């Protein structure tokens, strides 16, 4: 009875997939996305590390299995009955890995100019749903795989080495490049159908071009310094460190603006200090120097002018992020921003605010929160 029921379920699932084959890939992609959204939290947790490594390993194996289907490699084996599910599995792992990156980046309060990194990721993944051949297009298949692999190693290697700098980024990129080229040449050598569909030199050129483009974006500071992320950024009237916590006093926002606690318009009185409080997520034991770059917008030249850089060190491992603050006095009214940067000047986030002179001091709606 149990065997009959299991056989019926397999048959019903196969019929459903065949009937909705046009939409099945995107459903599996979304499935992978939802799965990780519900289960992942911190990049340095054992569970998260295990899931990501399993996703990446499974994706690599599935890619190999799928590319040998047209060669009849799996005829007469147990894998033959599951061949039609292989592209769906690839979509699931693509969705799972990409959602993990979104989850970790979503810790940041500001993507600032590093949003270009996300745009590339989204375009590469969505492109797979609109190309005529979809996942069977091997150029797209290996191109997306390499981008996913690059991002995977730029997350994982800093976590394991507990260090983050330009050298580590280059090492991560090199590891992803070598591993992808090894998989590509291995599949190419084993699969006559793959050799007929793609030119190895062209495929290698595409992958190396992606490698070069990502590195260009990194050194132009258009890629965030993963796995660091700006968790909170608040312009405040006062910050006090007390009993292991930071008590941050700020102007509370109106209740209908539910997505932000503090006002961006700062009511300023002469000789008053303006504080910037920030908390930064960093994997356990990862040490890094951070600084706040205070900048004011010059309305005459329409340019941002750097006023001062103030730095401090962080050590990762705290769920709420590593906390710190800087402050300035003798601030002039106008539009300001504080960039939160690494020592290599990679942008973690930008905290923007307006200084409004309070010439006739009046009671402010202040709130104090502990972080």
* 9 pLDDT above the threshold of 80: no
Residues 213 and 82 in one domain: yes
Residues 137 and 273 in one domain: no
pTM score, whole prediction: 0.73
- Residue 330 within any structural domain of the chain: yes
Residues 142 and 84 in one domain: yes
Give the least confident one: 33-47, 57-71, 279-293, 333-347: 33-47
> In the prediction, which pLDDT does 92 show?
79
- The boundaries of the domain holding residue 65 are 16-219
- Residue 349 within any structural domain of the chain: yes
For 44-76, what is each residue's pLDDT tens digit?
A: 678 888 888 998 999 999 999 999 988 888 888
Residues 260 and 147 in one domain: no
Task: Identify the domain boundary among 184, 219, 254.
Answer: 219
> In the prediction, which pLDDT does 8 show?
44
Residues 171 and 240 in one domain: no
Residues 67 and 200 in one domain: yes
What pLDDT band is residue 305 in, cutting at 50, 70 and 90? very high
Q: Can you tell me the mean pLDDT for 131-157?
A: 80
What pLDDT band is residue 132 in, cutting at 50, 70 and 90? very low
> In the prediction, which pLDDT does 279 show?
85
Residues 122 and 20 in one domain: yes
Sign of the four-CA dihedral 40, 44, 45, 46:
positive
Comparing 22 with 31, the larger pLDDT belongs to 31
Average pLDDT, the chain: 80
> In the prediction, which pLDDT does 262 show?
72
* 301 pLDDT above the threshold of 60: yes
Q: Can you tell me the mean pLDDT for 167-178?
A: 93
- Residue 11 within any structural domain of the chain: no
Which range among 159-168, 330-339, 356-365 has the greatest average pLDDT? 330-339
Number of separate domains in the chain: 2
For 329-341, what is each residue's pLDDT tens digit?
A: 888 899 999 999 8
Task: Identify the domain boundary among 219, 246, 278.
Answer: 219
What pLDDT band is residue 358 in, cutting at 50, 70 and 90? confident
Give the least confident one: 24-33, 158-167, 294-303, 342-351: 24-33
- Residue 48 within any structural domain of the chain: yes
* 131 pLDDT above the threshold of 80: no
Task: Identify the domain boundary among 219, 250, 284.
Answer: 219
For 201-242, what is each residue's pLDDT tens digit?
A: 999 999 999 999 889 888 887 777 777 778 788 999 999 988
Residues 60 and 145 in one domain: yes
Residues 242 and 359 in one domain: yes
For 86-130, what is each residue's pLDDT tens digit?
A: 888 887 788 778 777 776 666 555 555 556 666 665 665 565 555
* 266 pLDDT above the threshold of 50: yes
- Residue 111 within any structural domain of the chain: yes
> In the prediction, which pLDDT does 176 show?
96
Residues 25 and 113 in one domain: yes
Any idea what the CATH number is for the domain that residue 331 is in? 2.60.40.1930
Residues 170 and 291 in one domain: no
- Residue 3 within any structural domain of the chain: no
Q: Can you tell me the mean pLDDT for 338-365?
A: 83
- Residue 5 within any structural domain of the chain: no
Residues 254 and 191 in one domain: no
What pLDDT band is residue 179 in, cutting at 50, 70 and 90? very high
- Residue 165 within any structural domain of the chain: yes
> What is the share, in percent, of the chain residues with pLDDT greater than 90?
27
* 316 pLDDT above the threshold of 60: no
């Amino acid at each position: 009875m149990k065997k009959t029921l299991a056989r019926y379920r397999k048959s019903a699932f196969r019929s459903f997939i065949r009937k909705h084959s046009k939409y099945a890939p995107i459903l599996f992609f979304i499935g992978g996305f939802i799965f990780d959204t519900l289960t992942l939290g911190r990049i340095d947790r054992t569970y998260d590390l295990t899931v990501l490594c399993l996703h990446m390993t499974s994706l690599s194996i599935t890619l190999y299995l799928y590319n040998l289907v047209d060669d009849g490699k799996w005829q007469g084996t147990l894998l033959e009955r599951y061949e039609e599910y292989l592209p769906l599995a690839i979509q699931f792992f693509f969705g799972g890995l990409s959602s993990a990156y979104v989850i970790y980046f979503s810790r940041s309060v500001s993507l600032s100019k590093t949003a270009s990194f996300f745009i590339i990721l989204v375009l590469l993944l969505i492109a797979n749903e609109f190309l005529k051949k979809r996942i069977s297009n091997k150029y797209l298949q290996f191109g997306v795989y390499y981008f996913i692999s690059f991002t995977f190693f730029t997350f994982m290697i800093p976590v394991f080495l507990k260090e983050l700098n330009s050298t580590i980024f280059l090492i991560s990129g090199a590891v992803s490049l070598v591993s992808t080229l090894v998989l590509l040449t291995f599949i190419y050598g084993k699969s006559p159908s793959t050799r007929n569909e793609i030119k190895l030199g062209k495929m290698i050129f595409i992958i190396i071009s992606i490698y070069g483009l990502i590195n260009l974006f990194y050194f132009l500071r258009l890629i965030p310094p993963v796995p660091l992320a700006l968790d909170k950024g608040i312009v405040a009237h006062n910050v006090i460190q007390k009993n292991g916590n930071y008590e941050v006093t700020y102007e509370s926002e109106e209740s209908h603006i539910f997505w932000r606690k503090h006002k961006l318009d700062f009511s300023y009185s002469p000789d008053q200090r303006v504080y910037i409080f920030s908390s930064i997520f960093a994997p356990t034991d990862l040490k890094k120097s951070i600084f706040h770059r205070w900048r004011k917008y010059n309305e005459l030249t329409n340019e941002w002018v750097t006023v001062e850089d103030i730095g401090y060190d962080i050590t990762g491992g705290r769920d709420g992020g590593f906390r710190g603050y800087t402050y300035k006095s003798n601030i002039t009214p106008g539009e300001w921003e504080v960039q939160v940067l690494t020592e290599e000047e990679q942008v973690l986030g930008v905290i923007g605010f307006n200084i409004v002179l309070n010439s006739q001091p009046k009671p402010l709606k202040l709130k104090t929160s502990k972080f």
